[in-house]
Structure 1
Amino acid sequence: MTEYERARTMPAPPEHVFDRAADVDRLDTWLPQSLHVHAEELPAVTVHEDRTDENTQALLRAQPDQMRLEWGTRAQGSYTGWLQVAGIGSGASEVTVHLSFFEDSHDPGEQAVHDALDTSLRRLEEQVRLRIDDAAG
């Protein structure tokens, strides 16, 4: 098993960050650009990966009371992940994303995963800032 984790500070209260991250209809705005999530009957979702042009059956669970998202593949059990939002004071939050690959064949490699996580967290921060700007304007 291979695990990866990245964190980023965001300039918004944890509730705002979690609401944006957990919005199933807006996941494509912050996930890696090659992944597209189509909600079925939650927690069931289908994830389409552009790189392989494959659809994967997955589960996505939001736990608002814990400000946590959890996901993973359904049939294969080869991949899981979670996102945790925590308040750090002064109206800011820290978002941590953790990925676990149970099969080497599903692990795209350390550099690719770190790049994807960093980009996703940056894109999530952009979405959080847009929401704050929209609320203020």
Structure 2
Amino acid sequence: MTEYERSRTMPALPEQVFDQASNVGQLDSWLPEDLHVHAGDLPAVTVHEDRTDEDTPALLRARPDQMRLEWGTREQGGYTGWLQVAGIGSGASEVTVHLSFFDESHDPGEQAVSGALDSSLQRLEEQVRLRVDNAAG
């Protein structure tokens, strides 16, 4: 099993960050650009990966009381992940994303995953900033 984790501080309340991160209709705005989530009968979703042009049955669960998203492949069980939002005071939050690859064939490698995590967290922060700025003004 291979695991990866990244965190990023965001200048918004944890509830605002979690609401943006868990909005199923807007996941494509912050997920890695080659992944697209199509919601079925939640928690069932289908993830399309441009790189392989494959659709993978997956599960996505939002746990608002814990400010946590959890996901993973449905049938193969080769991959899981979670996103956790925590308040750190002064109206800021820390977002942590953790990925676990149980099947090495699903793991694109440390460089690719690290880049995708950093980019995704940056894009999530941009989406949160847009939402907070629009709400304030």
Within 5 A, what are the aligned runs for 1:7-46?
A: 7-46=7-46
- Indicate the percent of aligned positions where both proteins have the same amino acid: 81
Is 1:6 matched up with 2:6? yes
- Tell me the TM-score normalised to structure 2 length: 1.00
Deviation at 1:109, TM superposition (A): 0.3
* Alpha-carbon separation, structure 2, partners of 1:21 and 1:111: 23
Deviation at 1:136, TM superposition (A): 1.1
Q: Which residue of 1 aligns with 2:134?
A: 134
- Tell me the TM-score normalised to structure 1 length: 1.00
Q: Which residue of 2 aligns with 1:121?
A: 121
* Alpha-carbon separation, structure 2, partners of 1:122 and 1:81: 18
Q: Which residue of 1 aligns with 2:49?
A: 49
* Alpha-carbon separation, structure 1, partners of 2:104 and 2:74: 17
How many residue pairs were aligned? 137
Q: Which runs of 4+ in 1 moved over 3 A?
A: none
Q: Which residue of 2 aligns with 1:87?
A: 87
CA RMSD of aligned residues (A): 0.3
Structure 2: runs of 5 or more not aligned: none
* Alpha-carbon separation, structure 1, partners of 2:123 and 2:97: 13
Structure 1: runs of 5 or more not aligned: none
